[in-house]
Amino acid sequence: MRDLTGIPRPVPSDLLAGLLDHAATPSARLTVALAAVHAVPVNEIRDALTAELNLARGTLELRRGLLRHTLYLEEITHRLAADWLTYRHHRWPASLNPHLLVSQKTALDPDHPPVNRNSLRIGLPEGLTLEGMRQDRILDEAFATGDPLKLMRLFGITDATAMRYVGAAYPERTAKLPR
């Protein structure tokens, strides 16, 4: 959620409460964890490849143009990723689609498309978006640490974006001093 000046605003806690419990499928639970815990943008969730998930190391490599960002999966997301892979293998054992997340429509499609953006939103409460969860997670970390370098490393965001979140969390740190 945003105000008119573009400063990130937190998502109301009543919307975030119980999201994993309400997610109906293993895919939905993994999607919520990637957005709400790791602040992964929707397009990167869609485009993530199965080969980039390393459960032994507990990592997921995300491609950002020519750059890569490594997510270190905490216990819950690691378990949800393992659950999703098990479900995916049992549901579509013949799927050659390289994308981590697939749907009934994309799993066996010979063109190997990523899942549709709308399918990632299924089951989210009204008024809550994956982008809103992502912004809320980054803002929460900005409140907790106030450290733009940590935000850059943790979420793979630019310095300008990190400073915008720190400025939203601590406006007094970025206020212009009177001359």
H helix count then E strand count, the chain:
10, 3
What is the three-class DSSP state of 57? coil
The stretch 1-14 carries a mean pLDDT of: 52
CATH homologous superfamily for 13-128? Intergrase catalytic core (1.10.443.10)
Is the model more confident about 124 or about 155? 155
The pLDDT value given to residue 4 = 35
Phi, psi of 71 (to 5 degrees): -95, 130
What is the C-alpha separation between 101 and 114, in angstroms, rounded? 7
Q: How far apart are CA 60 and CA 48, in angstroms?
A: 8
Q: Each residue of 155-166: pLDDT tens digit?
A: 999 999 999 999
